[in-house]
Structure 1
Amino acid sequence: MNTKVAAPVAKDASMLKQKAMIAGNYAKLGSARADGRKVVSTFVPGNLNELIMCFDLANNLPEINAIQNGMRKRTGGLIMEAEKRGHSEDVCTYVKADLGMIAKGNLGPDGEQLPDPDLLLLSYTGCFTFMKWFELLRDQYKCETAMLHVPYQGDGRITANMISYVVRQLREEVIPKLERISGVRFDIDRLRENLARSARAEEDFVWVMESAKSKPSPIDAYFGGVYYIGPIFTAFRGTADAEEYYRLLRAEIAERLANGQGPVTPSGDMASERYRLVVEGPPNWTSFRDFWKMFYDEGAVVVASTYTKVGGLYDQGFRHDPDHPLESLAEYCLGCYTNRNLPGRIDLLAQYMEDYQADGLLINSIKSCNSFSAGQLLMLREIERRIGKPAAFIESDLVDPRYFSGANIRNRLESYFQMIDQRRNGAARAA
């Protein structure tokens, strides 16, 4: 019997660029001690990468380590190791994957030893778990911690007092500690240059994400989008590499747009676009490709998602501003998706439903992520009431393979797509 083997999907220049960037950062971390370089650990939402770069520090992001290990299907054992050491099943699985990795020798996703951090830098942006996570890491590493307290947008807006409060902490607490630990004096002109590079990359990034307003969409703004957000949300924002990555990506997407092509998937170009969805919540990483395949096999394209805004809502107009460097960093921290209140999140979803002409809203509720899952059923009902289009609810987890049921999710998705078809047919008959 002849079996046809699918040809490997060709990698675009931007994909190869990002892969090299990620490998380079892990190599930088791996050689940090030999190079005499100090290391800071920080989180994705509200991170201060442009500022960190001013002090020649290597940047280690625990969330990214958990995601990378999850996509390599290593996190199941790491999570179980953390649970053996007393951590509850209900604790965020990013946290347990990180603690389990440390307990098993602290080998990073590339298999190389990760250095102990010299500083834990936390810019709190709406996720209380981050603070508890850093308390555990501080006990583990016995290193210094810099806590940048970022006020929550309880009233749904950023005030001048909130910005000045964060700026004061940057001046009086964070920068002096970065100077002392790194041995490098703060240079505000260097920060301005980093912020200018960020702003240019952000322009191209927003263009790419908003290309999904076209029909067909040339991108998937959730599954493909998690790759697109990588450089701008992590250890590369403010670098020349990030600028180049987004220039390459924009050119590639512009070509797809001109040719009327749909998104690139792990199986190649998507054949046709049948459903346009907005998705709320992070993806599952341990079965990422299987999860994505359930969508593109049905012709479902995600045209907008909230997870791809977790590290910044650039599409709402924010840009890092080199003319107001510290104020710009403060505004960035304050404006991340996880720092928005529930009415603000619902408004954003409603805007995406309208702007991207979506057929429906899908919520992927993450078992161990309270900062996303709290209030999601209210979001679902409110979007259905406001927009009049069907919404659906599925459940999985971030990096715990025990909470991904492929058969259950596939059944729910098939029922949901049937619901969209029925709603379309009903509207067509009414017309």
Structure 2
Amino acid sequence: MTAAVKEPSMLLQKEMIAGNYEAITSAPETGRKVSSTFVPGNLNELLMCFGIVNNLPEINAIQNGMRRLSGDYIMEAEKGGHSEDVCTYVKADIGMMGRGNIAPNGKPFPDPDVLLLSYTGCYTFMKWFELLRAEYKCPTLMLHVPYTGDGHVTPNMIDYVVKQLKEVIIPGLEEVSGVKFDIDRLREILALSAKAEDDLVWCLESGKHKPSPIDAYFGGVYYIGPIFTAFRGTQEAVDYYTALRREVQARLDAGQGPTTPDGSVLTDQKYRLVVEGPPNWTSFREFWQMFVDEGAVVVASSYTKVGGMYDLGFRHDPADPLRSLAEYCLGCYTNRNLPSRVDILAQYVEDYQADGLLVNSIKSCNSFSAGQLMIMREVERRTGKPGAFIETDLVDPRYFSPANVKNRLESYFQMIDQKRRGANKAA
């Protein structure tokens, strides 16, 4: 199989992620402290105030999945007693630890100096960090973020999170790092976050055009890489999203679609989809190519919002730093209740003029998969557009069946065609 052809922005973000891995693995030599934390609700800007380098276990699992290493790591974890039903990100991480804990750059990960858990709707994060705490025996800081079970954020919720930031998280990071907290430094960082967020939203909303110049699911995972990981709040992120916006604008001006894995441009876009749920990483390119072969482009997705719902208007605000961090954590997609998710997805179908909603149900991810069938049915009812349901997994190659996925996709596109013919006859 030939190497996938990537857009310039994809190569740039790959360099950025590689640079962060180098910063992590060289920490014992540079003297920098290392945190482990998660993508939804991550406090990257706050960590930067203390000079702490950010390591994200989910991203490590994704990297190992795309490099076809996660299957062996998962088996290693299961041999140690972890159930087949446990999140495969967790098992890939635990298994990697048992195999030397080697980073993508070939160097060993240092032990974290602090575990920072912003709990945002996924209970697995807590159990995952219990395992890591038992292994590393380092300080653990938990920011408890109330679940928005009623569908909205209250002032009391914000005050509760801010109180923890002031009394638990910031003092804990000061102790770990030996650096005094500087709120003016945080303001400067948050201003850079907001600038990058503006350009990211512009790029993602370019999917409303016909043809769409982006794929907001497969291409989108590259676009969100810097801002969802260790670069939100940096000048590097601002520069990246400025470059990405220029790249997308050039395709818009030329009437072009996004680059596909084989290097062609997807201009004959027969189907416009909204996709719910994360991708499969172990067969990422093959999965993407199935959509390309059918002329399907994803114009909006929920997965590209797990690190922040910026398209709903939120921006990190340097004028009110701690409150802004609290609002960010509370508003993450995984912290929203099912009716809220239905509202978001139904609006995407309408706003992006999509042909329907496709759900990729992840076997081991309860945070996403719970309630997805109800979500699909309700979006169908509201929009009048057909939905479909496929099943894969995050980084476990045993649960990606190419033939089954392909058959379901083909059936779905036939359903869309049939719906279109019925509409034409009615007209």
Instruction: State TM-score, norm by structure 2.
Output: 0.98
- Does structure 1 retain, via aligned residues, the 8 Å contact 2:362–2:369? yes
1:321 corresponds to: 317
State the shift of 1:271 in Å: 3.7
The one-letter code of the counterpart of 1:279 is: V
- Partner SS state of residue 265, structure 1: coil
Identify the match of residue 370 of structure 1 among 366, 371, 382.
Answer: 366
- Does structure 1 retain, via aligned residues, the 8 Å contact 2:6–2:259? no
- Partner SS state of residue 360, structure 2: strand
Identify the match of residue 301 of structure 2 among 305, 312, 315.
Answer: 305
- Partner SS state of residue 202, structure 1: helix
Deviation string 1:94-147 (CA, Å, 9 cap, x unpaired) is 000000000111111222100100100000000000000000000010111000
State the shift of 1:10 in Å: 6.2
Is 1:262 matched with 2:257?
yes
The one-letter code of the counterpart of 2:33 is: K
- Partner SS state of residue 141, structure 2: strand
Identify the match of residue 408 of structure 1 among 397, 404, 411.
Answer: 404
Identify the match of residue 422 of structure 1 among 418, 422, 425.
Answer: 418
- Partner SS state of residue 294, structure 2: coil
- Does structure 1 retain, via aligned residues, the 8 Å contact 2:6–2:261? no
Deviating runs (4+, > 6 A) in structure 1? Answer: 5-8
Instruction: State TM-score, norm by structure 1.
Output: 0.97
Identify the match of residue 36 of structure 2 among 41, 63, 67.
Answer: 41
Structure 1, unmatched stretches of 5+, are none
Is 1:31 matched with 2:26?
yes
- Partner SS state of residue 54, structure 2: strand
Query: Where in structure 2 are the equivalents of 1:163-202 lying within 5 Å?
Result: 163-202=158-197
Q: 2:367 and 2:75 mapped to 1: Cα distance?
A: 23
Query: Where in structure 2 are the equivalents of 1:12-411 lying within 5 Å?
Result: 12=8, 14-268=9-263, 269-411=265-407
Q: 1:9 and 1:228 mapped to 2: Cα distance?
A: 15
Residues 7 and 158 from structure 1, CA distance in 2 versus in 1: closer, same or farther, beyond 3 angstroms?
closer
- Partner SS state of residue 354, structure 2: coil
Deviation string 1:183-220 (CA, Å, 9 cap, x unpaired) is 11101111001100000000000000000000000000
- Does structure 1 retain, via aligned residues, the 8 Å contact 2:215–2:258? yes
Structure 2, unmatched stretches of 5+, are none
The one-letter code of the counterpart of 1:417 is: F
Residues 64 and 6 from structure 1, CA distance in 2 versus in 1: closer, same or farther, beyond 3 angstroms?
closer
RMSD: 1.1
State the shift of 1:257 in Å: 0.4
- Does structure 1 retain, via aligned residues, the 8 Å contact 2:161–2:326? yes
- Partner SS state of residue 140, structure 2: strand
Q: 2:222 and 2:170 mapped to 1: Cα distance?
A: 31
Residues 52 and 7 from structure 1, CA distance in 2 versus in 1: closer, same or farther, beyond 3 angstroms?
closer
State the shift of 1:18 in Å: 1.1
Deviation string 1:204-238 (CA, Å, 9 cap, x unpaired) is 00000000000000000000111111111111100
State the shift of 1:6 in Å: 7.6
Identity %: 74
State the shift of 1:242 in Å: 0.4
- Partner SS state of residue 172, structure 2: helix
Give the paired residue count. 426
Residues 105 and 273 from structure 1, CA distance in 2 versus in 1: closer, same or farther, beyond 3 angstroms?
same
- Does structure 1 retain, via aligned residues, the 8 Å contact 2:360–2:391? yes
